[in-house]
Amino acid sequence: MRAGVLATLVAMGVVLVAVVDLPAVDSARDWLDRNAVLGPFLLALGVGLALLGPVPRTALSVLAGLVAGFPAGLAISLAGGMLGGIGAFALGRLLGRSAVAALAGPRMARADRFLDARGFGAVLTLRLIPAAPFTVVSYGAGLAAVRPGPYLAATALGLVPSTVLQVGAGASVEHLDRWADLLTTPVATAVAVGVLLTAAGLALWWRRR
């Protein structure tokens, strides 16, 4: 029953993604200017809700940078990413965990023992790999035996490098014809820091392997 509810919610998310049109960038900027206080919170909530469905986080982060600029876009993307990660983890744990355990049997117990001890490293590694879908990792961690504390810590840390790069790319779109000026902006510095953090994370993962 719970697994059916989870499947229904995910299916509803797929339908919403398919039928809902995103507003134009200029319209979104005007709306954000008119709602300077509540606007960023509502956008972060919208990002979190979108990440419960099959929406690429990369696209949302780039769009946040394009609409809100780098500082605000980064805050919106990080907050929305955490909200989406927490929501998907909770749904997977509450609605799908029992069904997966019943289907997997002894294999689930072995995986649980592994993830109980190494959940932080496993989630962090997947968050740092660009090819790993954010939503799939979030639901998967909830279905598995990853503890909430390590999951939240790994998600918060793993979100930073890629989000800095993605939001920075979105915020820089309108300045691509001014590379000389762009190289001296905080956006370029933040992007460079994101690259270094990503490289360090991958190096740490390879060493642990």
Q: What digits encode the pLDDT tens for the residues 25-50?
A: 677 788 788 888 888 999 999 999 99
Whole-number pLDDT of residue 85: 95
The secondary structure of residue 132, as a DSSP letter, is S
Q: What is the pLDDT of residues 52-100, one digit of tens each?
A: 988 889 999 999 999 999 999 999 999 999 999 999 999 888 887 666 6
- Domain-by-domain residue ranges, the chain? 2-208
Cβ atoms within 10 Å, residue 137:
24
Q: Angle 134-143/106-128 helices, nearest 10 degrees?
A: 150
Q: Which of 140, 144, 136, 80 lies closest to 115, judged by CA?
A: 144
Highest mean pLDDT among 33-37, 121-125, 173-177, 197-201: 121-125
Encoded amino acid at 135, one letter: T
For tokens 């279905």, name the residue: 143
For residues 7 and 1, give the distance between their C-alpha atoms in angstroms, rounded to a whole number: 10
pTM, whole model, 2 decimals?
A: 0.72
* Count of positions (residues) in the chain: 209
Among left, alpha and beta (phi > 0; psi -120 to 50; other), residue 105 is left
